[in-house]
């Protein structure tokens, strides 16, 4: 008699069936149904896959939700989004009798579906819901929260994550003034979401199609506020722009048109939204190869500046001509862009006498901005990583994080904004051209004024997340005593907080020569990140570069030793 290999005992199959019963999406239903059948028939591969999808749940934190699209509690899908929308609605209704929410979405797979689900569920719960008129950049949504006086905002996007990901980002209005959520609010919303997931089928949640569609005046107001950063008489530079297959081009084009700026060529292969991101292996301007098409077009038109946005246009990268580079262009680091934009903001704040004006950056960004602030008599604030913290600094005139995020127009957007940052940098470069200077020469002037700052980053990308924990544990329990030939004088474990900072999973290594290393797990991607900063007088730049390279080499070797155990 043949052996019956049917698997009916594993509870994960019942969990998956319960999820399947409330899934309104035909694609994920079919995907999950196949897995359930295979698992029930004895497939260990299918059982393992179900465990990977249901053993955990995408946690709702200060970055909202973000993960790979697919069926299951550990994936992004319509069930999870419906639970999040209902939980957020309950949170809003508990603190406001007549709350409102504005909802935006980008061009990723299912972004529009998740956004409409959110609008219907919010309206069904009794929250005034306003859906942006079409796919638009994240900064437009962040702007709309304040512009419309909404209680909250939801942006459906996975920003610069891999193509198969999507996400759900939450902003709060009123006292939070359009910033992203921070603790303890994220935990309070998470509790409501978990209650919905535990007690209700998403098919039973009330829905309504009475939500509103925002008109073009919202986009027009954002365009007007952003175009004001670029003087209409600015010198014309030849500029290449890429949207990286995202949603930035339409809005960026409207801004430069409003500013009467004409010399911008868009990379045609990457201009329109495409959820497959066909010309890049990873849709992040920081990744190797991401700007290859931009370089090619820039060489063709003789561009003086390259501006790149990530897919939801909240981040921005710059490249400038460089005769020594094989591509003919050099991509600036996030810190270099931050220095120049911060320097300009400091000059303007000092000139205008802005009361209590502050410059801010995250703890993993270069310390150079602090030197600039001191020089101009401004406050300097270091925050935890993430613009949810940067945007909340009182009297902020400029803030940035080294991961190519910049806040240049805090009166309009309380979040990083890759479009306004691109426009602000274009204005800076145009003014330099009027004075007979290039961006490269501006960087030289910065070094002469404030000293030499060498910054680098090492990312350890993993497929097994436990490896990140292992490396961080080893760094805590057996930290290196020297890095780059320099003695490590002190190690701060930021899990316990420091300098008025909330606790965070990060380590700061201070070296005897003033160098600094930060180590932390990425909040959005499966990798451990090291941030290295070396400071020296301008005349000692070569020595500083050598120390930087040696520190990076030592950190790489340390991580590899842990990984090979």
74-117 pLDDT per residue, tens: 999 999 999 999 999 999 999 999 999 999 999 999 999 999 99
For residues 458 and 552, is the Cβ–Cβ distance under 8 A?
A: yes
Cα–Cα distance measured from residue 249 to residue 247, given in angstroms and rounded to the nearest whole number: 6
Domain 235-450 CATH (choose: 3.40.120.10, 3.40.50.2000, 2.60.40.60, 3.40.50.880): 3.40.120.10
Q: What is the residue extent of each domain of the chain? A: 8-55, 61-215, 235-450, 451-563
For residues 515 and 456, is the Cβ–Cβ distance under 8 A?
A: no
User: What pLDDT, on the 0 to 100 scale, is given for residue 7?
Assistant: 56
Cα–Cα distance measured from residue 134 to residue 118, given in angstroms and rounded to the nearest whole number: 15
Beta strands 165-172; 179-180: pairing state: antiparallel
For residues 400 and 369, is the Cβ–Cβ distance under 8 A?
A: yes
- Which residue ranges in the chain fall short of pLDDT 50? 1-4
User: What pLDDT, on the 0 to 100 scale, is given for residue 9?
Assistant: 61
Terminal CA-to-CA distance of the chain, rounded, Å? 47
Give me 415's structure tokens: 């979040």
Coil, strand or helix at 102: strand
Sign, Cα dihedral of 423, 426, 431, 434: negative
- Classify each residue of 417-426 as buried b or exposed e, where b means 16 or more C-beta atoms within 10 Å of its C-beta: bbbbbbbbbb
Give me 464's structure tokens: 């097994």
Q: What is the DSSP string of 29-70?
A: HHHHHHHHHHHHTT-HHHHHHHHHHHSS----BTTBEEEEBS
Residue with tokens 């009330």: 206
Annotated active-site residue 43? The verdict is no
For residues 535 and 514, is the Cβ–Cβ distance under 8 A?
A: yes
User: What pLDDT, on the 0 to 100 scale, is given for residue 1?
Assistant: 36
235-450 and 451-563 share one fold: no
* Among 73, 111, 151, 159, the one annotated catalytic: 159
Total count of residues recorded for the chain: 565
In terms of DSSP H, where are the helices of 259-392? 292-301, 334-352, 368-375, 387-390
427-456 pLDDT per residue, tens: 999 999 999 999 999 999 999 999 999 999
Question: What CATH superfamily classification does 61-215 receive?
Answer: Alpha-D-Glucose-1,6-Bisphosphate, subunit A, domain 3 (3.40.120.10)
Which residues lie across from 154 on neighbouring strands?
103, 170
Report CA-CA distances (Å) from 522 to 404, 425, 478, 488. 15, 27, 21, 23
Cα–Cα distance measured from residue 84 to residue 64, given in angstroms and rounded to the nearest whole number: 9
Which among 267, 308, 339 has a CA at the least distance from the CA of 419?
Answer: 308
User: What pLDDT, on the 0 to 100 scale, is given for residue 235?
Assistant: 87
Residue with tokens 């920003």: 159
Give me 315's structure tokens: 């981040």
Report CA-CA distances (Å) from 214 to 123, 396, 414. 15, 29, 20
User: What pLDDT, on the 0 to 100 scale, is given for residue 4?
Assistant: 42
In terms of DSSP H, where are the helices of 273-327? 292-301
Long-range contacts (CB closer than 8 Å, 24 or more residues apart) made by 330-333: 331/285, 331/291, 331/306, 332/439, 332/443, 333/402, 333/455
User: What pLDDT, on the 0 to 100 scale, is given for residue 108?
Assistant: 98
Look up the CATH number of domain 451-563: 3.30.310.50
User: What pLDDT, on the 0 to 100 scale, is given for residue 524?
Assistant: 66
């Amino acid at each position: 008699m043949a052996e019956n290999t049917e698997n009916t005992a594993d509870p994960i199959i019942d969990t998956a069936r319960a999820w399947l019963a409330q899934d309104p999406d035909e694609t994920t239903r079919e995907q999950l149904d196949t897995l359930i059948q295979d698992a029930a028939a004895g497939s260990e591969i299918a059982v393992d896959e179900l465990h990977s999808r249901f053993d955990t749940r995408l946690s709702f934190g200060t970055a909202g939700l973000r993960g790979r699209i697919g069926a299951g509690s550990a994936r992004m899908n319509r069930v999870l989004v419906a639970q999040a929308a209902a939980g957020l609605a309950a949170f809003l209704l508990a603190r406001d009798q007549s709350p409102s929410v504005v909802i935006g979405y980008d061009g990723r797979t299912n972004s529009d579906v998740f956004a409409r689900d959110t609008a219907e569920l919010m309206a069904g719960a009794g929250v005034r819901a306003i859906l942006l008129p079409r796919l638009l950049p994240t900064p437009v949504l962040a702007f709309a929260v304040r512009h419309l006086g909404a209680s909250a905002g939801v942006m459906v996007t996975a920003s610069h994550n891999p193509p198969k990901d999507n996400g759900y980002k939450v902003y709060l209005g009123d006292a939070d003034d359009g910033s992203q959520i921070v603790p303890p609010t994220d935990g309070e919303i998470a509790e409501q979401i978990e209650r919905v997931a535990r007690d209700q089928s998403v098919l039973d949640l009330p829905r309504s199609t009475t939500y509103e569609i925002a008109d073009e005046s919202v986009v027009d107001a954002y365009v007007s506020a952003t175009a004001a950063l670029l003087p209409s008489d600015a010198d014309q530079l030849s500029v290449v722009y890429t949207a990286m297959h995202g949603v930035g081009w339409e809005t960026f084009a409207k801004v430069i048109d409003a500013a009467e700026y004409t010399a911008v060529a868009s990379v045609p292969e990457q201009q329109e939204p495409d959820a497959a991101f066909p010309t890049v292996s990873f849709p992040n301007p920081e990744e190797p190869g991401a700007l290859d098409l931009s370089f090619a077009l820039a060489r063709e038109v003789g561009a003086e500046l390259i501006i790149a946005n990530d897919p939801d246009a909240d981040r921005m990268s710059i490249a400038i001509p460089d005769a020594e580079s094989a591509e003919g262009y050099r991509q600036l680091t996030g810190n270099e862009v931050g220095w120049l934009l911060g320097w300009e903001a400091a000059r303007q704040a000092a000139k205008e006498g802005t009361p209590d004006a502050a410059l801010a950056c995250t703890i993993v960004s270069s310390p150079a901005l602090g030197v600039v602030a001191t020089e101009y008599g401004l406050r300097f604030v270091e925050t935890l990583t993430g613009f949810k913290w940067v945007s909340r600094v009182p009297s902020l005139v400029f803030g940035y994080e080294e991961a190519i995020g910049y806040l240049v127009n805090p009166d309009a957007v309380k979040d990083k904004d890759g479009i306004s940052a691109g426009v602000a940098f274009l204005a800076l470069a145009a003014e330099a051209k009027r004075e007979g200077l290039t961006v490269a020469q501006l960087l030289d002037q910065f070094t002469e004024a404030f000293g030499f700052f060498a910054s680098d980053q090492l990312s350890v990308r993993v497929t097994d997340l436990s490896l990140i924990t292992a490396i961080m544990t080893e760094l805590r329990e057996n930290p290196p005593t020297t890095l780059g030939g320099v003695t490590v004088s002190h190690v701060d474990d930021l899990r316990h907080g420091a300098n008025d900072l909330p606790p965070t999973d990060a380590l700061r290594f201070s070296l005897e020569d003033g160098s600094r290393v930060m180590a932390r797990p990425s909040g959005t991607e499966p990798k451990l990140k090291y941030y290295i900063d070396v400071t020296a007088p301008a005349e000692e730049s070569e020595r500083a570069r050598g120390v930087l390279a040696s520190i990076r080499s030592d950190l790489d070797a340390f991580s590899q030793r842990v990984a090979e155990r």
